[in-house]
Amino acid sequence: MKDRYPIKIVVILFLILVLQMSPMSWGGNEKGSGLVFHRTNEPGEQAFSILVPQGWRVEGGIFRVNPLQVGGPLNSVEAKCDMTLKSDSKGTVCFRILPDIVYAHAGIGAGFYPVGSSYQGAQVQPLVAAPTLLEAMLAQLRPNARAKKTLKVTALPGEKQSMERGLAYLNQLMSQIGLQSYQCDAAGAVYEYLEGDVQYREILMTGLVNMPAALTWKNTRTLAFRAPAKDFESWKPVMDIIRFSVRFNPAWFLKEAGGQQERAKIIQKVYDEIRRIDQEIVQKTTINREEIMNDNFLVLTEQEEYVNPHSGEVEVDTDAYKYRWVTPGGDIYYTNREEENPNIFLQRTDYKRTPIRKRRNE
């Protein structure tokens, strides 16, 4: 009987020691081998949220053009977004959303406004095809680039179709009042160039909308992604994760309508149509999937459908990693190691693994 009390004391001391140990010590992993992304709001007006790799910088966001400063309203009707996600101050690896810019057709004003001049806040430029616009954009984005090579240029029929469907309601309204409908084009290109002593590869993608009734045209859905050429393949999944992670804020769209009830209804209907089309894309055949993949910056990465364990919603994401964990707030952890639980080494409790959606034909 006398020996039991020292034993109890030893057991109690052992339990206290275990409870004082950090969760990281329990798991035996000092750090994970996967990638951590944080869902981050667009900093300007919270118009959307996007997944940002841990440790990356976020610059820019929604901005507005003052018509009094640019000589007219053509680039002031809509909010614009110029937002960059980059791995370091130089943008060694970076993803950029470029703003929609409205241009006036050459010949506007019966030729009184020459090419390069400004008409109502828009630069006068002849309408060009989307691939030609991409070349001009690369020159503007990378003025110090040397030894530029074009690796691939291709039309994006899936993106063009998506744009046309998004404009269908607006075109219907224009047709009813006798105005010519908007026309769309879309293309993507892959380039390589030297900047400093680094060989880069960059993908550019843009849509183009011709608005003949207003004698204007603009670029839209313009995205850029670059990384050192030697590491580009390993960065492709990150590019896909970022691009497909954008979640728009419907309340922002209604606010953007400026309180005008009729315009707010139009914006909401367009937004609902875009969401419906996105859901159809998820559900359609392999042929449509392959077509949409053309839009994916020409990078043929496979995708998968996951069921969010917190919301029950089906989410489309990359299948470059075997295991995907998500929090209620939208942070995501990717890894190829089954035994890794990010709650342990990130000292969290709200990460849950997202299972692959069970197929209807199973």
How many structural domains is the chain composed of? 2
Residue 224 lies in a domain: yes
Residues 229 and 333 in one domain: no
| DSSP per-residue string spanning 313-340 | -EEEEE-SSSEEEE-TT--EEEES-TT-
Closest CA to 318 of 248, 249, 234, 250: 234
Whole-angstrom distance, CA of residue 208 vs CA of residue 185: 5
Helix (H, G, I), strand (E, B) or coil at 270: helix
Residue 192 lies in a domain: yes
Question: Looking at residue 359, what is its pLDDT?
Answer: 62
Max Cα–Cα distance, the chain, nearest Å: 109
Residue ending a domain, choose from 295, 322, 340: 295
| Residue-by-residue pLDDT tens, the chain, 362 positions | 455 556 666 555 555 554 454 444 444 556 778 889 999 999 999 999 999 999 999 999 999 998 889 888 888 888 899 999 999 999 999 999 999 999 999 988 777 889 999 988 899 999 999 999 999 999 999 999 999 999 999 999 888 988 898 888 888 888 888 888 999 999 999 999 999 999 999 999 999 999 988 889 999 999 999 999 999 999 988 988 998 899 988 888 777 765 434 434 544 454 455 455 545 545 554 444 444 443 443 333 456 778 999 999 988 888 788 999 999 999 999 999 999 999 999 999 999 999 987 765 55
Sheet holding 48-53, edge to edge: 247-248, 48-53, 35-41, 332-335, 323-326, 352-353
- Segments in the chain forming alpha helices (H): 4-20, 23-27, 67-70, 130-141, 157-166, 168-176, 232-244, 250-256, 261-283, 286-295, 342-345
Closest CA to 247 of 37, 40, 35, 36: 40
Residues 287 and 180 in one domain: yes
Residue 109, class by beta-carbon neighbours within 10 Å (0-12 exposed, 13-18 middle, 19+ buried)? middle
Residues 260 and 326 in one domain: no
Helix (H, G, I), strand (E, B) or coil at 201: strand
Residues 322 and 284 in one domain: no
Residue 173 lies in a domain: yes
Closest CA to 170 of 160, 183, 159, 158: 183
Residues 169 and 284 in one domain: yes
**Pair of tokens at residue 130:** 């989307």
Threshold 0.75, pTM exceeds = no
Backbone phi, psi, residue 82, to 5°: -130, 100
End-to-end CA distance of the chain, in Å?
Answer: 63
Residues 308 and 231 in one domain: no
What does DSSP assign to residue 116?
A: T
Per residue in 169-197, pLDDT (tens digit) is: 888 888 888 888 999 999 999 999 999 99
Residue 167 lies in a domain: yes
Whole-angstrom distance, CA of residue 65 vs CA of residue 76: 5
**Pair of tokens at residue 60:** 């820019």
Residue 150 lies in a domain: yes
Residues 199 and 310 in one domain: no
Whole-angstrom distance, CA of residue 222 vs CA of residue 100: 7
Residues 230 and 122 in one domain: yes
**Pair of tokens at residue 220:** 């839209």
**Enclosing domain of residue 284:** 68-73+99-295
Residue ending a domain, choose from 272, 295, 318: 295
Residue ending a domain, choose from 245, 277, 295: 295
Q: How many CB atoms lie within 10 A of CB 50?
A: 23
Residue 107 lies in a domain: yes
Residues 269 and 336 in one domain: no
Residues 127 and 203 in one domain: yes
Q: Helix 168-176 vs helix 261-283: angle between axes, to the nearest 10 degrees?
A: 140
Residue 25 lies in a domain: no
Question: Looking at residue 135, what is its pLDDT?
Answer: 95
Question: Looking at residue 109, what is its pLDDT?
Answer: 75
Whole-angstrom distance, CA of residue 101 vs CA of residue 5: 80
Residue 279 lies in a domain: yes
Residues 237 and 206 in one domain: yes
Residues 234 and 329 in one domain: no
